[in-house]
């Protein structure tokens, strides 16, 4: 087993009049991911060979859209966590919903928030929603990679117990309770698995499709590949990722959210299935065109 590295969740902390302000790696990951996404989209629309004629969207429109995208990420991510992962708690205490400092963001919720913002913006600006979706898909994986690395630094969203040599001993009693016994136990660093698959690998694939295969000329293709790639990566990692505590019980030790005949899916896998189906539809439709 590997001991958890001594990394602070904060890049730095300052105290002002008795109040401590901190810049956390998690917040920095969001900021860096959004800035990189903005940059790569601008580079794509400023590369003429990627398009049949003039790009269907300009830099000023992208700048305006990113304001709405940030709102969609934050609102959607928070509401997704509330609705999909902990509805009973927040129904009983609804005033806690806007308390982002408590933690609790869901990728699928943030994804839906950006989809809603994108559809609204496409109609308002007269931009093809498929082209906007392709550009957004290109921009997402690096942000996902940085976010999962930040999850690892925060020692959260760790994996299931393992005896593999790269198992990590995460801090905290919850992480060190294995088989009902509190003590040193190694867990899958599932955050790093996701950073590699959903982030690095998927980013390289999409960059290759856009800048080598010119797939922006096939509207919907890049978005479809992103949905398939993320869906497969998330579905596979869920097998070794520790489910949220509210889904685990003596009768359901693996944390399945949906069960039929002894088989089932975790909440992450369940939410990923529509993404996989949508991705296949967009990719096949783009190929047919």
Q: What is the pLDDT of residues 194-245, one digit of tens each?
A: 999 999 999 999 999 999 999 999 999 999 999 999 999 999 999 999 988 8
Judge residue 215's burial from the number of C-beta atoms within 10 Å of its C-beta, 0-12 exposed, 13-18 middle, 19 or more buried: buried
Q: Which domain holds residue 192?
A: 2-56+128-288
Q: Look-up: residue for tokens 């950073």?
A: 195
- What element of type H or E holds 155? none
Residue 67 lies inside a defined structural domain of this protein: no
Q: What is the mean pLDDT of residues 246-260?
A: 83
Residue 179 lies inside a defined structural domain of this protein: yes
Contact 280, 226 (CB under 8 A): no
* pLDDT above 70: residue 289: no
Give the tokens for residue 211: 């800048």
| pLDDT tens digits for range 12-49 | 778 777 777 778 888 899 899 999 999 999 999 999 99
Residue 108 lies inside a defined structural domain of this protein: no
Q: Look-up: residue for tokens 């896998």?
A: 269
How many structural domains is the chain composed of? Answer: 1
The beta-carbon contacts of 167-172 under 8 Å, at least 24 apart in sequence, are 167/1, 167/2, 168/1, 168/2, 168/3, 168/4, 169/1, 169/2, 169/3, 169/4, 170/4, 171/4
**SS3 state of residue 59:** helix
Please report which confidence band the pLDDT of residue 100 belongs to, taking 50, 70 and 90 as the band edges: confident
Residue 276 lies inside a defined structural domain of this protein: yes
Residue 239 lies inside a defined structural domain of this protein: yes
Other CB atoms within 10 Å distance of the CB of residue 133: 23
Other CB atoms within 10 Å distance of the CB of residue 69: 22
Residue 198 lies inside a defined structural domain of this protein: yes
| pLDDT tens digits for range 157-180 | 999 999 999 999 999 888 888 877
Residue 220 lies inside a defined structural domain of this protein: yes
Residue 151 lies inside a defined structural domain of this protein: yes
Across all residues in the chain, what is the average pLDDT? Answer: 90
- Cα-flanking dihedrals φ and ψ of residue 138, to 5°? -60, -30
């Amino acid at each position: 087993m590997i001991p958890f590295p001594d990394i602070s969740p904060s890049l730095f902390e300052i105290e002002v009049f008795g109040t401590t302000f901190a810049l956390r790696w998690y917040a920095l990951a969001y900021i860096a991911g959004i800035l990189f996404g903005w940059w790569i989209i601008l580079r794509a629309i400023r590369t003429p060979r990627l398009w049949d004629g003039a790009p269907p969207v300009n830099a000023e429109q992208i700048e305006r859209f990113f304001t709405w995208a940030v709102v969609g990420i934050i609102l959607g991510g928070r509401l997704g966590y509330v609705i999909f992962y902990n509805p009973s708690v927040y129904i009983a205490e609804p005033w806690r919903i806007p308390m982002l400092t408590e933690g609790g963001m869901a990728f699928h919720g943030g994804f839906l928030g950006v989809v809603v913002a994108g559809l609204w913006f496409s109609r308002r600006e007269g931009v093809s929603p498929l082209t906007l979706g392709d550009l957004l898909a290109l921009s997402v994986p690096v942000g996902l990679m940085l976010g999962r690395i930040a999850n690892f630094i925060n020692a959260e969203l760790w994996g299931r117990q393992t005896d593999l040599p790269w198992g990590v001993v995460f801090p905290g009693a919850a992480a060190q309770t294995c088989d009902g016994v509190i003590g040193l136990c190694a867990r899958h660093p599932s955050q790093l698995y996701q950073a590699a698959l959903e982030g690095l690998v998927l980013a390289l694939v999409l960059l290759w499709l856009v800048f080598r295969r010119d797939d922006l000329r096939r509207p919907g293709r890049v978005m479809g590949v992103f949905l398939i790639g993320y869906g497969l990566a998330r579905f596979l990692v869920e097998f070794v990722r520790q489910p949220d505590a509210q889904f685990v019980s003596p009768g359901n030790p693996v944390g399945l959210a949906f069960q039929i005949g002894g088989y089932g899916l975790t909440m992450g896998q369940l939410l990923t299935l529509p993404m996989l189906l949508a991705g296949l539809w967009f990719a096949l439709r783009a190929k047919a065109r």
